[in-house]
Amino acid sequence: MADVFANPVLSGFHPDPSVCRVGADYYLACSSFEYFPGVPILHSRDLVHWTQLGNALDRPAQLRLPPGTVSSGGIYAPTLRHHDGRFWLITTNVQGDGNLLVTATDPAGPWSDPIRLPGVAGIDPDLAWDEDGNCWCTYAGVGQVRIDPHTGESFGEPRRIWSGTPGAKAPEAPHLYRIGEYWYLLIAEGGTERGHGVSIARGRTPAGPFEPCPANPILTHRGTEHPIQNTGHADLVRAPDDSWWMVLLGVRPRGGTPGWHVLGRETFLAPVSWVDGWPVVGGLSTAPPVPAWPLLPGRADPVRDDFDLSELHPRWISLRQRPADLCTTKERTGWLTLHGGGGSLDDLDVTFVGRRQQHLSCRVRALVDPAAGRGGLAVRLDEHHHYEIEVAAGEALLISRIGPLRSVVARRPVPTGAVVLRIEVTATESVRDARSGPDTLSFGVEEPDGTMATLGALDGRYLSTEVAGGFTGRVIGMYAAAGTVHFDWFDYEPADAGPNGGSDE
């Protein structure tokens, strides 16, 4: 473990973290909601610096997200475990497939086709094995049923094993562990907004009865001025040196009142000690970052993609599906080619390829050839909340969609052929006005000398969870609304130091 580290350890839209350790290696999975491929799988040696190995659900046969899948629908809250020489991942597709389980011998994949779990009635499913080899699935509510993880069969009737703290809403995200002489049941409660927290109970068997920790909640930032809020949905892991750690989600609100978080729910890390048989969670460090951009062998620079490989890096995500005939690096060598689907970012079936915004301030550039098509760069939260700069027929447009209102903010003539489009995100540094937003997004076309001809600057609060609702964070990427659009390269550059480099590469 690093002696000093900054939070978050996984910046940007990486919610609902679940972690397991195999030897000296840690593996972590997160929710992916309406994006394809689903459930990013990451690797670390110190719980601080993470490299994305792949995605557990990277084939249409594993992840069915029909065109009608709503934003913040799709894949919820995976649990990742290692047992009997295999990795096991259980999650929920709330758009119809329900709870499902996939396995792999290598966390980088391939992962198996899913096993359906019709007897598991709730979201946020967990897996735990007892000393007799029984597999217990505990889920939000907090309910539990014994299952056969090889077939998906359930045994006996589901039963509720703990109600959480009296008066606290939404007991969810359960994880069950055998630690010493007790079985510990960790849950989140209070809702995933500012009231979020982590509580724990223990019992002599995996089915209880469970006694709550007298110090519950063992972690919450509700009612505080801590810069990290909404803390909850946690998982515990033991390091090789016998130290204990907790990964959890949280957000970083900025601006005035009520505070807006734009990157989504991120993954944070906290130390855990044990006192009188109960876990005590240490503070969430906000120490200066340890800069690092660890590279995945054989992959391109982590902030730039020249689209020279036959397959996209696993960081790239699309909306609900990614048909090869609409998105390919094989049609024009060294370019990503997108063929238009939908008519705009307002549509569920638009052709879009993006990456998570991972820094409060950043700059994004791409060389775009609209050919006979129409497309460009977009910052997306959902179909009703997005900004984009679009090029077509010798003109660049700055488009804003906020709730029911869609408008062309500005337009500018550009040369026909390839142009460099640019987005600059600048975080609010200080709050002089309680109504000030979290950041400003500037959009423009890059001149030959490298300067930006700005079309306009937009308030970032309208691309925040506090305005739009939902469970995701900003994704910045490329799209084609009509015809064919080519992208020669895409460059993402942090403009702030960022926690631990903000790397998920």
60-70 tens-digit pLDDT: 999 999 888 99
CATH code of the domain covering residue 446: 2.60.120.200
Confidence (pLDDT) at 379: 98
Residue 237 within a domain: no
Going by pLDDT thresholds of 50, 70 and 90, the confidence category of residue 3 is: low
Burial of 206 per CB tally in 10 Å (0-12, 13-18, 19+): buried
What are the tens digits of pLDDT across the range 208-217? 999 999 999 9
Confidence (pLDDT) at 298: 35
Nearest CA-CA partner of 475 in 373, 388, 348, 349? 388
Going by pLDDT thresholds of 50, 70 and 90, the confidence category of residue 290 is: very low
Total of domains in the chain: 2
Structure tokens at 86: 């295999």
What are the tens digits of pLDDT across the range 260-279? 999 999 999 999 999 999 99
The residue out of 212, 242, 260 marking a domain boundary is 212
> What's the domain range around 95?
21-190+198-212
Confidence (pLDDT) at 229: 97
Confidence (pLDDT) at 2: 57
> Does pLDDT of 504 surpass 80?
no
Confidence (pLDDT) at 96: 80
Residue 10 within a domain: no
Going by pLDDT thresholds of 50, 70 and 90, the confidence category of residue 288 is: low
Residue 25 within a domain: yes
Going by pLDDT thresholds of 50, 70 and 90, the confidence category of residue 300 is: very low
Residue 271 within a domain: no
Task: Provide the mean pLDDT of the chain.
Answer: 93
Residue 106 within a domain: yes
Residue 340 within a domain: yes
Cβ 43 vs Cβ 25: under 8 Å: yes
What are the tens digits of pLDDT across the range 176-189? 999 999 999 999 99
- Residues with a catalytic annotation lie at 16, 172
Residues 60, 183, single domain; the answer is yes
Structure tokens at 233: 């949905």
DSSP state string for 265-312: SEEEEEEEEEETTEEEE----BPPP----PPPTT---TTEE---SSS-
Confidence (pLDDT) at 431: 75
Confidence (pLDDT) at 498: 47
> Does pLDDT of 297 surpass 60?
no
Confidence (pLDDT) at 158: 95
| pLDDT > 70 fraction of the chain, expressed in percent and rounded | 94
Q: Strand 135-139 vs strand 143-147: parallel, antiparallel, or unpaired?
A: antiparallel
Angstrom distance (rounded) from CA 361 to CA 492 = 11
Residue range 292-310: average pLDDT? 61
Question: Who contacts 224 (Cβ-Cβ below 8 Å, separation ≥6)?
Answer: none
Residues 180, 315, single domain; the answer is no
Is the model's pTM score more than 0.85? Answer: yes
Residues 64, 166, single domain; the answer is yes
Going by pLDDT thresholds of 50, 70 and 90, the confidence category of residue 1 is: low
The residue out of 164, 181, 212 marking a domain boundary is 212
Cβ 370 vs Cβ 392: under 8 Å: yes
Going by pLDDT thresholds of 50, 70 and 90, the confidence category of residue 285 is: confident
Residue range 360-371: average pLDDT? 96
The residue out of 212, 247, 276 marking a domain boundary is 212
CATH code of the domain covering residue 49: 2.115.10.20
> Does pLDDT of 451 surpass 70?
yes
